[in-house]
Amino acid sequence: MGSAVIVRPSLGVRARRLGFAIAQPVGSVVIALIIGAIIMIAFGFDPIKGYGGLFRYAFLSEFNITVTILNSVPLVFTGLAVAFAFRCGLFNIGAEGQLLVGSLFAGWLGTLIHLPMILTVPILLVTGSVMGALWALLPGVLKATTGAHEVITTMMMSWIGLYLTSYLVKNVLMDPRSTIPASNRITEQADLLTLDKVFPFLFGRPTRLHIGVFIAIAVAVFIWYLLTRTSLGFSVRAVGSNPFAAEAGGVRVSRSIVVSLLISGALAGLAGTVEILGLHHRVFDRFSAGYGFTGITVALLAKNHPLGVIPAALLFGALTNGGAGMQLAADIPIDIVDVLSGVIIFLVAAEEIVKGFGRRRAKRQAAAQALALSSGDEGAVA
């Protein structure tokens, strides 16, 4: 029976799925750029000059590309943090606080210990992740036990983290000789190697690029593997897609929720720690340029795919960097960059609009199902 039925893994299905997954975010970015151009024209700016400047300052020249990549590194981590929780159906909007807390304690410890580099770096990276995770623990436990919504609790913890770290930097850690709120220098044994030291044959001159770039890529690949190839990742995704079926499939739903938020927090903590060990070498008050929040956008654009987070982070890294260029080259206010990211978020979130340009897809059934499920407390994000 069923003669026409093929049961071999078919490349066609996978390729189609991948193509579809990529087309949508790319399409959103393109449309956002077009809308940005229209806005520029409307306000009497020259979009060609504007985008030309943006591109030039984002990518052309070693200096510019270095800045773009350095901007992207923390975004890869925070993007992963948000994406991971998303895959479990959780909206961790408190990555910023987890990032600050994680890096503060890693940095603090870094000012105290004196160990060889081979130990110092791993110890501090672990400290940062553990503290970040700890900052997400309470929201996780509350969600799992009482159903308290993580959007509220992670945000509250985020503010607590922000003020706590700020207080500690100003009152406890502050280097008395410093004029700005910053800690003592972290031990040099904790500095992430710069790439000219690792690949002397590639870099003629010293560079600010550090091995954090590779850590970010490696962590993205690891998270991808964890999510798609392991039983833990499977459970997390099952809870995210259909917690009722997951439960009946022996998944310990509460545990998955807590674990996902812990991993998410750890990734956020890592974002700040790598930033500090790689670039600042001190803990500054509020050194994060909103990486935790931009991470939400990055994750959205990446459609919560851990590998998609890398190009998405690069895009936002380039936008912040190139935005300044646009201002210089064409006098276009840097705020246009915020408009662009706003439009991108809107388009990615409003999937239906981009897909088939208003042609209704027969996803109604799935949508009704999702709606029915999310009318519980599964933190679905529209």
Partner 1 sequence: MQAISESPPRVGGDAGDIVVRLTEISKFFPGVVANDRVNLDLRRGEIHALLGENGAGKTTVMNVLYGLYGPDGGVIEVEGHSVRIKSPNAALALGIGMVHQHFMLIPRFTIVENVVLGHEPRTRFGALDLFEARRKLVELSERFGLAVDPDRRVEDASVGMQQRAEILKALYLGAKVLILDEPTAALAPQEVDDLFATIRSLTDGGLSIFFITHKLEEVIEISDRVSVIRAGRVVETFDTARTTKEELAHRMVGREVVLRVEKTAHTVGEPVLEVENLSATDHRGLTAIDGISFTVGAGEIVGIAGVDGNGQRELEEVIFGLQKHTGGRILLLGEDVSRLDVRKRIDRGIGLIPQDRQRRGLVLDFDLVENVLLGNQWRALYSRPLGIDYSYLREQAGEAVEEFDIKTPSVEVDASTLSGGNQQKLILAREIRRGPKLLLAAQPTRGLDVGAIEFVHRQLLELREHGVAILLISYELEEVLSLADRILVLYEGAIALEVSGDDAVREEIGLAMTGGSRRNG
Identify residue 63 by its one-letter amino acid code.
Answer: F
Nearer to partner 1, 205 or 360 (CB): 360
The alpha carbon of 192 is separated from its chain's Cα centroid by a whole number of angstroms, namely 20
CA distance 84 to 89: 9
**Are 78 and 302 within 8 A, CB to CB?**
no
Question: Could you give the angle at which helices 117-146 and 95-112 cross, rounded to 10 degrees?
Answer: 150
Give the interface segment with partner 1, choosing from 117-125, 159-167, 222-230, 318-326 (CB under 8 A). 222-230
Give the interface segment with partner 1, choosing from 104-112, 184-192, 229-237, 320-328 (CB under 8 A). 229-237
Nearest to 163 by CA among 180, 181, 139: 181
CA distance 305 to 87: 9
What is the pattern of x (binds partner 1, CB under 8 A) and - over residues 13-52?
A: xx-x------------------------------------
**Residue 359 structure tokens:** 């042609």
Q: Is 252 in the site for partner 1 (CB under 8 A)?
A: yes
Q: Which of 200, 202, 231, 357 binds partner 1 (CB under 8 A)?
A: 231
Q: Which of 6, 42, 112, 202 binds partner 1 (CB under 8 A)?
A: 6
Nearest to 373 by CA among 246, 231, 260, 228: 246
Q: Which of residues 191-210 bind partner 1 (CB under 8 A)?
A: none
Q: Is 358 in the site for partner 1 (CB under 8 A)?
A: no
Q: What is the dihedral of CA 217, 221, 223, 224, to 10 degrees?
A: 140
CA distance 309 to 314: 8
Q: Is 242 in the site for partner 1 (CB under 8 A)?
A: yes
Q: Which of 40, 88, 192, 251 binds partner 1 (CB under 8 A)?
A: 251
Nearer to partner 1, 206 or 376 (CB): 376
Q: Which of 7, 42, 112, 172 binds partner 1 (CB under 8 A)?
A: 7
Residues 6+ apart with CB under 8 A from 7: none
Nearer to partner 1, 34 or 366 (CB): 366
CA triple 309-301-104, angle to 5 deg = 55
Q: Is 218 in the site for partner 1 (CB under 8 A)?
A: no
CA distance 312 to 326: 20
The CB-of-352 to partner 1 minimum distance in angstroms stands at 12
Q: Is 145 in the site for partner 1 (CB under 8 A)?
A: no
**Are 131 and 102 within 8 A, CB to CB?**
yes
Give the interface segment with partner 1, choosing from 143-151, 154-162, 299-307, 371-379 (CB under 8 A). 371-379
Give the interface segment with partner 1, choosing from 40-48, 62-70, 104-112, 235-243 (CB under 8 A). 235-243
Q: Which residues bind partner 1 (CB under 8 A)?
A: 1-2, 4-10, 12-14, 16, 225, 229-231, 234-235, 237-238, 241-242, 244-252, 360, 362, 364-366, 368-369, 371-372, 375-376
